A = this chain, B = another copy of it.
């Protein structure tokens, strides 16, 4: 198992070499990863779940604090309560959109929580590693950014394993804390729906639904100074 091999070697290695095929595989995961909201009910095998979580656990973290936990939700009852929290927030948010934008907002399929066989609540513990975590002392939100890197690793691993994932970011954190028994100082960063799908679009759902367009990359790149085109 290659991930085990890489985790356990000790010493200093030469910079790892990637063949052309290996490079292409990495880009394939990066470019084909999508945020998915429609799932088949088939369960995800426990070892596959563990592979995704181990990929997440090998993300970079500020001061090596590894601030994450993973709460695996597979019970229909708990998923239903999480879906309720997300739907409540969705209805509250809809009030801020008016007219045509509200109609479009309500037509977006945004939750697959009840459909997906697995929801992973990824949390961030800002107290992990003690009071003076290297780097976090300077920029405190680096703990959340580390957790986001873990989510991205998990997403790319899911893609490679033929699994679809959706990041639900509509909820009141205290609703999720209440439902999952999460202590007040722990941040429930994301609810991730994971499962197999028959609906895998090749462009982002928010792009095909004309909600937002993909920007051109070039205007986002500057040289030496903000605003100076590269």
Contacts and interface: CB of A to CB of B under 8 A. Distances in A.
Interface in A178-213: 180-183, 186, 189-190, 196-204, 206-207, 211-212
Nearest to A201: B12
A84 B200 CA distance: 47
A220 B93 contact: no
B138 A53 contact: no
A: interface residue count bin: 35 or more
A217 interface: yes
B27 A2 contact: yes
Nearest to A13: B202
Nearest to A65: B212
A63 B206 contact: yes
A75 B160 contact: no
B25 A18 contact: yes
A138 B217 contact: no
Contacts of A28: 2, 6, 16, 18, 22
A24 interface: yes
Interface in A52-109: 53-55, 57-60, 62-66, 68-75, 78, 89, 93, 96-97, 105, 108
A151 B59 CA distance: 11
A109 to B, nearest CB: 13
A33 interface: yes
A152 to B, nearest CB: 4
A224 B14 CA distance: 42
Interface string A4-16: 0011011111111
Interface string A148-170: 11011101110111101001011
7 contacts: A18-B25, A22-B24, A27-B51, A64-B212, A145-B145, A145-B151, A182-B226
